[in-house]
Structure 1
């Protein structure tokens, strides 16, 4: 069953629509750096995944298909037949599912710092155990330490603190249930079914979804996909916000 996702809808009503979905442990605030540049050209809809931010926390575990269904229900409720989509990390997984299983709804696909599968799903097994034991707050700083390069973290401590707060405030059940969705996700067999113009953005210093094998597998699996590597860690859309916004906008008008 789908849930009614919390979302923020900004920009001109008559402009092309782009949907932004973020990483595990993030909220709509993750996309704040993209709002101003993108709303100059797009109607921008930022979304909290189920179990995150202002969205409901249904009983878990979840699947990526469940989360994609939530996005389709949101589009239906807004009367939107076809949109450009950009997702980072878990949001990218949702985007891959949407683009292969509901291709008529996705006009362009931008996948940021994400993966079509995790070679070692034990990372999610361990994360679930940690959250079930102590909640999201105790692990938030460790999680976010992988999101930014040390130089960026030193220069922008307020950004790091905000990200830590997003993770720490994520409901424990929602976070663990989304970890289960990532643990079970393997979209490699369906990458070839994606027909939307696809841009893959990777971070050169991303320890969570490095270019090899994660971004490379996606680019090689989706016909015509292209790769851009930014000087950033996992949240490249924040660390290299201007360049990321340019790339997202360019692909979303493809």
Structure 2
């Protein structure tokens, strides 16, 4: 497991652990690091099969196995408890931890996530898998920004998008790894367990997310007993990247009260 620990300038600062979405790389959280490090010790990591943690994954790979990796990271870094922040797939990992080992979480933040995948999000992932199967990694990577970013943002950041395309293809996690990670998130279902999750939760959604309807965030927040909901009007699925200042302010406000 590839782990980065950024110590805070504040002695004895609490820890925030950041878990990425399907891309898996800890570098996804770069727009949040400076803001968080001012007040928190920050842990990022590359998820198994991605980035610097490339390896083969079992055919029946699960979100639970990803959560087990987080527990190993907490133990490895001598972290008794953390504020867990997960984006999409990473949010599912956080939900699994909250229902299995709530004593390890000071709080849980889920960004554009869900308790059980709905038909729209399932359709999006199925379309992406078909692209991968019939057109290959280049087409898959080329289409990826459409699911991540608002159309206006993409139009205004065309050069950055092209750079991300090149980086994504160079560091592509592999077709079989991607299929197994998508399979894990499609099978995940914590809906029946939400009422028993008492962890203080912050559910962040974006109204213009084309991959995960904002209704998923609204339902998740409504069914968790101890949750706050924050919905951005603009920002898309990767709202922490497209609107980092607003995202960071909302997250820090929540963490400061939890």
TM-score normalised by length of structure 1: 0.90
**Counterpart Cα distance in 2 of 1:81 and 1:160:** 39
Structure 1 residues 36 and 97, CA, compared in 2 at 3 Å: closer, same or farther? same
Q: Is the 2:49–2:57 Cα contact (8 Å) retained in structure 1?
A: no
Q: Is the 2:31–2:244 Cα contact (8 Å) retained in structure 1?
A: yes
Shift of residue 129, structure 1, vs aligned partner: 4.9
Structure 1, 47-56 or 119-128: larger mean CA deviation:
119-128
Residue 144 (1) aligns with residue 145 (2): yes
Q: Please name the residue that 2:22 is paired with.
A: 24
Shift of residue 164, structure 1, vs aligned partner: 3.0
Aligned residue for 1:116, secondary structure, equals: coil
Shift of residue 251, structure 1, vs aligned partner: 2.2
**Counterpart Cα distance in 2 of 1:217 and 1:107:** 22
Q: Is the 2:20–2:87 Cα contact (8 Å) retained in structure 1?
A: yes
Structure 1 residues 32 and 151, CA, compared in 2 at 3 Å: closer, same or farther? same
Q: Which runs of 5+ in 2 are unaligned?
A: none
Give the alignment partner of residue 208 of structure 1, picking from 203, 207, 211: 211
TM-score normalised by length of structure 2: 0.89
Give the alignment partner of residue 42 of structure 1, picking from 26, 40, 43: 40
State the superposition RMSD in angstroms: 1.9
Structure 1 residues 9 and 63, CA, compared in 2 at 3 Å: closer, same or farther? same
Report which structure shows greater RCO (CA 8 Å, sep ≥6): 1
**Counterpart Cα distance in 1 of 2:55 and 2:135:** 18
**Counterpart Cα distance in 2 of 1:248 and 1:144:** 24
Q: Please name the residue that 1:234 is paired with.
A: 237
Q: Which runs of 5+ in 1 are unaligned?
A: none
Give the alignment partner of residue 5 of structure 2, picking from 9, 12, 16: 9
**Counterpart Cα distance in 2 of 1:115 and 1:167:** 25
Q: Please name the residue that 2:219 is paired with.
A: 217
